[in-house]
């Protein structure tokens, strides 16, 4: 865990993929939760659609990086 703080640390493609996958999932859940908790009848707005798209795209990119293993990113 503390290897992240060393000067010679290199992030692997698997670590980057996991980071993108988790970050995308958080954004996706946040956008859907914002819609579920909204009080107005407006529906999903433009920024929510953009957030859902960005979250889904980062999850897809993260999934494609996971099988590449421990090669440097």
| Tally of structural domains, the chain | 1
Has residue 29 been placed in a domain?
yes
Has residue 73 been placed in a domain?
no
Residue 47 to residues 5, 21, 35: CA-CA distances in angstroms? 35, 20, 11
Q: How does residue 4 score in pLDDT terms, banded at 50, 70 and 90?
A: low
User: What's the mean per-residue pLDDT of the chain?
Assistant: 87
Has residue 15 been placed in a domain?
yes
Has residue 44 been placed in a domain?
yes
Q: How does residue 62 score in pLDDT terms, banded at 50, 70 and 90?
A: very high
Has residue 2 been placed in a domain?
no
12-25 average pLDDT score: 94
Has residue 4 been placed in a domain?
no
Has residue 5 been placed in a domain?
no
Structural domain span for residue 53: 10-68
Residue 42 clears pLDDT 70, i.e. is over it: yes
Say what the pLDDT of residue 55 is: 95
Has residue 34 been placed in a domain?
yes
Of 73, 71, 28, 69, nearest to 49 (Cα)?
Answer: 28
């Amino acid at each position: 865990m503390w290897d992240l703080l060393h000067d010679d640390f290199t992030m692997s493609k698997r670590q980057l993929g996991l980071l993108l996958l988790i970050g995308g999932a958080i954004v996706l859940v946040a956008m859907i939760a914002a819609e579920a908790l909204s009080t107005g009848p407006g529906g999903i707005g433009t920024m929510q659609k953009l957030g859902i798209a960005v979250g889904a795209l980062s999850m897809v990119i993260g999934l494609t990086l996971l099988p590449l293993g421990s090669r440097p990113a």
